Chain A
Amino acid sequence: MFGLNAKDARLYIIVLALLLFAPFLLNPFPEGSGLAQFNAGYPDMMQRLVIFGLFAVGFNILFGLTGYLSFGHAAFLGVGSYAGVWMFKLLTMNVIPALIISTLVAGLFSLLIGYISLRRSGIYFSILTLAFAQMCYSLAYSVLTPITGGETGLQLSLDDPRILGVQQTAQGNIPVPNLFGLPMNAATTLDVGAWSFTFSVGYYFAAFVFACAFYFTIRLFRSPFGLMLRAVKSNQSRMSYTGLNARPYTLAAFVISGMFAGLAGGLLVSMDPLAGAERMLWTASGEVVLMTILGGVGTLIGPILGAGVITYLEAIVSTINSTVLHNWFEALPDGLENFLVNIIYPFVGSGWHLTLGLVFVIVVCFLPGGIVEGGKRIGGLFTRKNKSSDSVKADSAAQPGPGE
């Protein structure tokens, strides 16, 4: 189905279903209950999940397949964001031209940075990309203020030209990003009993873009090009003695993953038309590395899972403060309540990085293949009996690729 093999098609359908029903799935707790703050089914959150998923999926094309660890991918996300906002300022508030330009500009940047960085491999490559990203950040923050807005970030204003759109709405406001007139922030809410589900245009648009990009990624993984990228990771010396030039393969992978990052940046500003330099900071680059490793490097679904976990932790765990904790343990005796609150407090709220760090350490130590490997191990417990028949079944042998 879809020109994919049965296993990939099944995975893709599952991902599509998750995207489609995310507003329900991420809102399992009734409104007003104590657990409602664990709900992630609000548009802003779902958009971030999908956009960072896209970012990580693209990053995985480079890191997962070729093994080249870029530590500067946030630069492309930032460049994409700036390019998107400039499209909103100059051309129109329609998101389509903004996304196209974001992707192209990020592609150009990655071509330039990749061309230079890929002259080295291993740690030197990582350091070079990191240096370039920090350069982009510093430039955006200082010298390039006229283009990037510097500290305040790049914002829309009422006197932007917007030659194909309107400068301001009838009410004198800045227009919102839209898809041929359909505003990104439009949403309908469905109330079912105590639950309330929000369906927003922005989320479904981002999910559609993600679905297309993910489809492309699956095809790429199973293509001759994808095989060559894995060959780069496996043995570059054999590759060159087999008549293959590894450099253009790695550069193509770098540019494709840079364009994914630019597309993610364009989507970010389509949801909220504001771009700041901190998006290019090295911590942002590090985050996408964490997402990919946490989920499972080189697998199709891993980066999505990793991005989901990290984005969720960041948004939800960081909002838990001491008042919330005290509310949870209200029923307990005062001494025990305070004790528990004091134990948990460092791990939540502004200390959510501690939780993230612990999760990361545990995964890397005990599940080097990330969440995907964990899932496989659990799955293996149930399907061990069928295993022998499975290995016989794997027929057309050229394609069994990495991960599911």
Chain B
Amino acid sequence: MGILEVKNINKRFGGLQALGDVNLDVQEGSCHAIIGPNGAGKSTLLNVLVGKLIPDTGTVMFENKPVLGRKPHEINQMGISRVFQTPEIFGDLTVMENMVIPILARRDGSFALHAISQLRNEKSLNEEAEQMLAEVNMLEKRNMQASSLSRGDKRRLEMAMCLVQQPRLLLLDEPTAGMARADTNNTIDLLKEIKEKRNITMAIIEHDMHVVFSLADRITVLAQGTPLVEDTPENIKGHPKVREAYLGEAQV
């Protein structure tokens, strides 16, 4: 039994079958990669998991609780955090404020009317935020406005915001897209460290095979909305069907 079980998900957009009978079983503590050519339905699947899209049929269970039908904030409160392809951060706020919000969300739930207590008196909260920022090497940028950060820093900030929530499942949508090789390697190291130290289950969508094979314990290959194969990285590399559908285009 996996921590996340996706069964028979179907989603149509007009005449296009975006997802057809998708099944996915993510084991606790593993890193599960979802790969596939453009338009294979990877992002659609993530959108279903976080409650942004409602599928036509199917079930999604997280820790044996149903996910479908819940609002995005409720799904997050269940323990699922998501890193987006283009970083979604609070651009108008400082880096530190960006970190404080997820901690408050974890502590106080989806709504709390703390209108009189003062943020600066929340010692443990500020310390936790700083600690997390230090882990992603952004402590010296804590007073910067988030929108003025570089693209790589925005990603790291978003990742830190997700991690500080202590999620049990972290969804990553192309976390290294558009990054230079050195930044990509840093991200791989960071993700490896997260997996080992924090024991967070990860589901990752990625085009960069270097990233996929460095991180993944299991790989699901999607093509045209349907899962083609699910196997270990070693077996995927040599799988003829996969080569045909996807890896034929890329060099491994």
Contact = CB atoms under 8 A, between A and B. Distances in A.
B211 interface: no
B76 A241 contact: yes
Contacts of A396: 120, 126
B1 interface: no
Contacts of B72: 240-241
Contacts of B89: 235, 238
Measured as residues with beta carbon below 8 angstroms from the partner, the interface class of chain A is 35 or more
Interface stretch (B91-99, B189-197, B240-248): B91-99
B7 interface: no
A391 interface: yes
A285 B213 CA distance: 60
B127 to A, nearest CB: 10
Contacts of B38: none
| Chain A interface, DSSP helix/strand/loop, else mixed | helix
Contacts of A256: 115
Given A228-B104, A241-B76, A252 B90 contact: no
Interface residues of B, number: 47
A245 interface: yes
Q: Which of A3, A226, A242, A400 has the most CB of B within 10 A?
A: A242
Q: Which of A223, A239, A248, A398 has the most CB of B within 10 A?
A: A398
B114 interface: yes
A238 B120 contact: no
Contact of B143 (A219, A227, A234, A400): A400
Contact of B115 (A3, A220, A238): A220
Interface of A: 3-5, 216, 219-220, 222-228, 230-231, 233-235, 237-245, 248-249, 252, 256, 391, 394, 396-400
Given A235-B88, A240-B76, A244-B105, 20 more contacts: A222-B120, A224-B108, A224-B119, A225-B112, A227-B100, A234-B91, A238-B89, A239-B73, A240-B72, A241-B81, A241-B88, A242-B76, A242-B165, A243-B106, A244-B101, A244-B111, A245-B110, A248-B111, A397-B94, A397-B142
17 contacts: A4-B118, A223-B115, A224-B117, A231-B101, A241-B82, A241-B88, A242-B101, A242-B161, A243-B77, A243-B105, A244-B110, A391-B143, A394-B143, A396-B126, A397-B130, A399-B119, A400-B143
